[in-house]
Chain A
């Protein structure tokens, strides 16, 4: 009888144990399901990023506090293939606040090495405009000559582009091919002193054709330290109508057949050099603009004139940061030097030969926040011309102390 009772008790406790086990397993499964729901990758992600730079410039003429950039960047990713990005460019200098659309476009990753992008995008003509223009990426407080307002090359435009990158043995190759609205030629009706210059800010087309361009970049070393790029850009910037229609003296002037061919070569080399206990960063770009000849009208003396419409711009820069130094303060310093030059056509009313030397001492507060102290010397063969200032390349020297941050 005793044995029976023990067996029954044992049987009942066994059943209870099994039930408790089932219950625990059910609870574990329930928790697992909840974790899976939490960890389930969502299809849509939104981010607000951007960068800013502000500080002061001291030249022979004045001392100014400036906010040279405040650029929020909006990013929206949907799934694994779709990205929308947009950048607003805000600038407050010399009591003027400007806001522009840097870019706003949609990209779709079609295959491993093919991305299609449409909208307003940064033009991959060389690398500075597309990759190094953000103030926290640029080692200097200013841009090299030939970039920005009245620059030699386009910065952004509306159109469509295919691009991508792939391996080529132990090297890499990247490409981009695009068609955009393109520039229009300044015919002199609005700003006679700039006749013959390309105006890249051209949201409304003045003709039926499109500008086309390409950039091929090769990274021959497998550590990706060196990149050499070649760019080309072709446009027909004239309108089919004469800008002087109704003016019997000049209505024969027409820029329909004017063509523009722009080419550039760029180079970038970034490497940790152990014997130097730091990082060497070298960049450069040479850009050439060749616009076919045309006849322009000078309203000041009512004469007509022509010139060989060729411009060139280049910059070389080097930076060194002793990032491998043991001293925590020393390793955050960086020294940098840049030489840039911009030559515009002889015979035009905007003929000039500008050069600029900038030396800088940077202190990196973090990987994306930097204090820049620059000293810049500018020389120009044209004094006091249109848009000339120490900032854009007039004569004189300037000291700049800026802080730039990516956020």
Chain B
């Protein structure tokens, strides 16, 4: 059964001291429900991601209760940065098997500010006992290790990584809800300090507070009830087989499970790389983008650097990348905003940053450090599913 995204919502993002993760989740959910034109009583599925900083018992039911939803099915999904796409796939499965009709996927975090306050408890990552004692910070640190290995193997340069940061900033300049909207030049990138060499300041995404949500429904429902249902044309998910929280093996190979997830998603959508108009690739760091360009097959392994250098990714390129600015320039909300932006672009509602004639989008997520990859191909309203 063809399935569509029929509503999206995005809360305020940024440094939101004193705003709870619950409030951000509810604000985004309300916006998504209004966008879809559905009331709480019409929603029968609720998917959430539990809070990293304050793990909550039966979190999805907690959120449902606050929204007045009595779901047929509710659960928490945590696949790290692959959660957003995993939610989408879970929603599609629930709908296509007839378990649910309309599913709300909701997310909210206030990690940027909440670490400073006392909380009930934080999530266990799994293998931090073998990482944190060495001053390795989760996420970005392992990306620096991986980038160094890629540079060693293929001669990839810091400047090439910088071109990714610059391309995404060119998009973000026109996003009213982006954290970083001032222009960024390659010179400025190269003058910026190394924070975790070989990664510089502008190679890293910073956590911000914020929420995002989407409403998923059968395409037939979307056509009847919604002006612009965005179809889910294909989904993919693959795991490296490494423990999700332990990075050592994954960072020394330059290939990630995005290769398998890419084969799945392009196969499911019966599309080739040339059919993709815009790419919304998960971006903890610029390096994470580069390695996905290779593993999703936009260029060959090792050629990510030259591919970036050829200028495909900016607003005028043939593969505009993260038109919302991505984690690097808008806000790091675990890839939720990548889906929200894809839907806006495909509906033609992205304002001054609208990419002309965008009718297909590849959206991806990475969970752990290259441990899980999830991908979706979305199609503009009216595109045959």
**A and B interact physically:** no
Measuring CB to CB, which residues of chain B are less than 8 angstroms from any residue of chain A?
A: none
